[in-house]
C-alpha cells in the first residue's frame, strides 16, 4: 500500500528508529510499511495517524500499489 510515511517522518526530523519507538514496533516494521512490503494492521494504522495527527486516509492510499 502506498503511503507518505517517509515524508511525514522527514518533516519532523525523525528516523525510522524514532518513529518505531513512538509506535512500539521495530525499525524493520516501519521500513517494511514505508516500502510497501507490509500493510499495517488497523490498530497500527490508527496509531500512525495519531502520532502524526492525521486521518489514516491522508497517510495511506490503498489504490496505489
Picking from 1, 2, 5, the residue whose alpha carbon sits closest to that of residue 54 is 5
- Per-residue pLDDT band at 19 (split at 50, 70, 90): very high
pLDDT for 32 = 98
pLDDT for 64 = 55
Q: Are 34 and 62 in contact (CB under 8 A)?
A: no
Whole-number Å distance between alpha carbons of 22 and 26: 10
Phi, psi values for residue 15, rounded to 5°: -85, 170
* Residue 50: partners with Cβ closer than 8 Å, 6 or more residues away: none
- Annotation: CATH topology of 2-60: 434 Repressor (Amino-terminal Domain) (1.10.260)
pLDDT in tens, 40-59: 999 999 999 999 999 999 99
Amino acid at each position: 500500500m502506498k503511503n507518505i510515511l517517509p515524508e511525514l517522518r522527514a518533516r519532523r526530523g525523525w528516523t525510522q528508529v524514532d518513529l518505531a519507538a513512538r509506535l512500539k514496533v521495530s525499525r524493520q516494521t516501519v521500513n517494511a510499511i514505508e516500502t510497501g512490503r507490509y500493510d499495517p494492521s488497523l490498530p497500527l494504522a490508527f496509531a500512525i495517524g495519531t502520532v502524526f495527527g492525521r486521518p489514516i486516509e491522508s497517510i495511506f492510499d490503498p489504490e496505489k500499489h
